[in-house]
Amino acid sequence: MNLEQLQSFVEVARIGHFTRAAAHLHLAQPSLSRQISTLESDLGSELFHRARGNITLTDAGESLLPLARRMLADADTVRYEMQELAGLKKGRVRLGATPTLCISLVADVLTSFHVAYPGIDLHLTEQGSRGLLDELAGGALDIALITTSEDGAPPATSLQRTPLLTEELVVISSMRSPILEDRQSLTLKELAAIEQITFHESYDLRATTMQAFHAAGLTPKVVLEGAEMDAVLRCVERGLGVAVVPAMVMVDRPGLRSARLTAPSLSRTISLAHRNDVTPTRAAQAMQEMIIDTADILASANRATTGLITRAPQQ
């Protein structure tokens, strides 16, 4: 039994005439007759009473007709859904990203992607880089945006990583605060003497800054510890203290001012990670391309202003 045989059977049943059904299906009448005969042979039952000028269904034909229609409809549904998926009108992308990227790069990517492919379901997971790599390796994510410090070795993994951007870490304060007024840069030693807000221990950049203080023999003056990104930014805007954040966070933040961190400067690399043992779906491929394009735009725009965000050198 095949779909072509079922289509022929349904047309003969609908029209009640072999020759006219053959013409409607663009088949020669003998070809149509052979299809019906083969189907009857496979099923072991006659499907039509063949009287001259009067073709009617047998009991077996009456039983088969609704099943055949349903099978043909299901085949059409499968064909349509595959076409929709191929055209990126349906599908799913599971994206993971660190918290700092979720309020900057990822927000721009998801907005642009949804406009371009509104039928694709988007799932976002937000956590630290190591947790994201674990979920990616376990098959819970399709793509992950991770970060590594300039001195930190990337986590040992068989996953494929593509460097996208390199960005400096900057010191931020409230626009109403005089701390960074008329300051273009701040040394790590100067920063240690200023009340600051530190992130939750799950944030990779907290480890980066604390390691820098430890290496310099400095102890930071912490006024608030363990905050999430949104809380840090809000507290800084209200003048509670300063914070060390990625330069990308400053985009569209009129309530904040920033200064470069020097002696030493700190930076991190943003990379796109995916499994190298699984072929990505078309939707996941489109998301990867959107991320790369958005990163290029961000680096180009920043190069003309602060230069704190640049395209990462490729491995």
The residue-averaged pLDDT of 141-166 equals 76
Residue 187 has pLDDT above 70, yes or no: yes
Establish how many alpha carbons lie within 13 A of residue 97's alpha carbon, considering only the half-sphere containing its beta carbon.
22
Entry pTM? 0.69
Summarize pLDDT for 236-295 with one digit per residue, the tens. 999 999 999 998 888 778 899 999 999 898 999 999 999 888 888 888 999 999 999 999
Report the C-alpha gap between 100 and 246 in whole angstroms: 8
Nearest of 170, 149, 90, 76 to residue 122 by alpha carbon: 90
* Structural domains of the chain, with CATH: 3-86 (1.10.10.10), 91-311 (3.40.190.290)
Nearest of 125, 192, 164, 144 to residue 268 by alpha carbon: 164
Report the C-alpha gap between 169 and 245 in whole angstroms: 5
